[in-house]
Amino acid sequence: MNERPSLHVGDSAIRPTQYSTACEYLAGGMSVIPLRCDGSKSPRVAWNDYRQRFPSDDELQSWFSRPAGIGIVCGIQSGGLEVLDFDERADITFSSWCERIPTELIDRLPVVRTGGLGYHVLYRCSVIGGNTKIAMTAEGGVLVESRGEGGYIVAAQSQDGVHSSGRHYVQLRGVALPLVPIITPEERKLLWRAAAAMDERVDPMAEYVRQRRSQLRPKAESDTTTPWGDFDARADWSDILEPAGWTTSRGIAWTRPGKQFGTSAKVAIASDGTEVLVVYSSTAGPLAAEGTGHRTWGKFAAYAALHHGGDRSAAAKAVLALGYGRASR
């Protein structure tokens, strides 16, 4: 990621006081709360009250007359504030996510480097949710989650010691906080869809359906008289993708060549019962999605694109030689 110069003032001698910084966030329409400086990031007050009202100046002066970090309350009280939190494998995940977002949109959004070396992306929208784990690793680690109604985050320029690492929360790019732009529900959907595309969890029901359809497919009257039809019915995605440099852990979520982690595509079941590959990445070579959408490939079409430059005639001859199509039996 090409990080812009930090907006954080690193010299503690000239850094604004926590009181004045909290006042700036409050003036920006955000409800603030004090946080403990013991590395726990936990509130020093019963903070749910501040989901319905802003703190008074007396409260702010009382809170920040002694060391305390600044927490920003997300949700309706803060003008529809929602935050995407990139946690595990943050650099790789955030970079991959940015590839899927239009430049003009990502350039508007404040991005904060967290004390745990993750990223917070802030925006306001008329549509917000709660705290949601959007993308996780296959092992259960959190790649991307949201902070919305019922959540809070540590503010940039918050007091030292709020995070257990002792590192500051530093704004890297986007409009300068406390200004947080308003985006449309459609733009929010783009942000969430790009995050969800990196989810590595296997849906148990989807996997069950895939296995059952695979078991039942030979009984169906599908067109297996042609090499390409038989290839679509019987070929394995691993034999198509792995020789081209794609990787997977369980055969459902796939990572494009050149990446170590993240979901670039997923195997799904089409309406006719065949397996297809839904590609989300716009940098996935011959299979790349267009723009911020996705692209769906059948097995034979993907094989032709990856291994025969899109020449279906050459691909048909190759799969015929491999034993696909009734004419070859």
Is 26 in contact with 55 (CB distance < 8 Å)?
yes
Non-local (6+) Cβ contacts of 66 within 8 A are: none
Tell me, yes or no, whether 92 and 221 share the same domain: no
Please tell me the least confidently modeled range out of 22-26, 55-59, 200-204, 211-215.
211-215
Q: How far is CA 191 from the centre of its chain?
A: 8
Q: At 203, which amino acid appears?
A: D
Instruction: Count how many Cα atoms sit within 13 Å of the Cα of residue 318 in the half-sphere of its side chain.
Output: 17
Q: Is 29 left (phi over 0), alpha (psi -120 to 50) or beta?
A: left
Residues of the domain holding 252 = 204-328
Residue 298's nearest CA partner among 225, 215, 229, 227 is 229
Whether 1 is covered by a domain: the verdict is no
Average pLDDT over residues 151-179: 92
Residue identified by tokens 């010299």 is 11
Tell me, yes or no, whether 25 and 166 share the same domain: yes
Tell me, yes or no, whether 183 and 318 share the same domain: no
Is 138 in contact with 201 (CB distance < 8 Å)?
yes
Q: pLDDT at position 297, please?
A: 93
Distance CA 48, CA 69 (A): 17
Among 176, 196, 216, where does a domain finish? 196
Asked if residue 178 has a cis previous peptide bond (ω within 30° of 0), the answer is yes
- DSSP-assigned letter for residue 242: G
Tell me, yes or no, whether 192 and 211 share the same domain: no
Which CATH number is 78's domain given? 3.30.2250.10
φ, ψ at 40 (rounded to 5°): -90, -20
**The token pair that represents 17 in the structure block:** 């006081």
* Percent of the chain residues past pLDDT 90, beyond the cut: 58
Distance CA 297, CA 317 (A): 20
Tell me, yes or no, whether 209 and 291 share the same domain: yes
**The token pair that represents 222 in the structure block:** 């599908």
**The token pair that represents 166 in the structure block:** 């002792």
**The token pair that represents 51 in the structure block:** 């989901």
Tell me, yes or no, whether 307 and 265 share the same domain: yes
Instruction: Count how many Cα atoms sit within 13 Å of the Cα of residue 74 in the half-sphere of its side chain.
Output: 27
Other residues' Cβ atoms within 10 Å of the Cβ of residue 246: 23
**The token pair that represents 133 in the structure block:** 């784990």
SS3 at position 127 = coil
Q: At 307, which amino acid appears?
A: H
Tell me, yes or no, whether 40 and 173 share the same domain: yes
Q: Is the confidence at residue 140, as pLDDT, over 60? A: yes
Q: For the residues of 204-217, what is the DSSP string, one character each?
A: HHHHHHHHHHHHHG
Average pLDDT over residues 7-11: 37
Tell me, yes or no, whether 31 and 96 share the same domain: yes
Q: How confident is the model at residue 3 (pLDDT cuts 50, 70, 90)?
A: very low
Whether 186 is covered by a domain: the verdict is yes
Q: Is the confidence at residue 328, as pLDDT, over 50? A: no
Among 133, 163, 196, where does a domain finish? 196
Q: pLDDT at position 308, please?
A: 93
Distance CA 132, CA 122 (A): 15
Total domain count, the chain? 2
Q: Is the confidence at residue 2, as pLDDT, over 60? A: no
Tell me, yes or no, whether 56 and 101 share the same domain: yes
Distance CA 75, CA 166 (A): 27
**The token pair that represents 84 in the structure block:** 């995407």
Whether 7 is covered by a domain: the verdict is no
Q: Is 102 left (phi over 0), alpha (psi -120 to 50) or beta?
A: beta
- Read off the pTM: 0.63
Q: pLDDT at position 210, please?
A: 57
Q: Is the confidence at residue 8, as pLDDT, over 80? A: no
User: How many helices and strands, by DSSP H and E, does the chain display?
Assistant: 10, 14
Residue 117's nearest CA partner among 90, 157, 156 is 90
Tell me, yes or no, whether 183 and 34 share the same domain: yes
Whether 286 is covered by a domain: the verdict is yes
Q: How confident is the model at residue 213 (pLDDT cuts 50, 70, 90)?
A: low
Q: Is the confidence at residue 205, as pLDDT, over 60? A: no
Whether 63 is covered by a domain: the verdict is yes
Whether 6 is covered by a domain: the verdict is no
Average pLDDT over residues 273-290: 86
Among 178, 196, 214, where does a domain finish? 196
Tell me, yes or no, whether 104 and 64 share the same domain: yes
Whether 303 is covered by a domain: the verdict is yes
Q: Is the confidence at residue 13, as pLDDT, over 60? A: no
Whether 297 is covered by a domain: the verdict is yes
Tell me, yes or no, whether 208 and 192 share the same domain: no
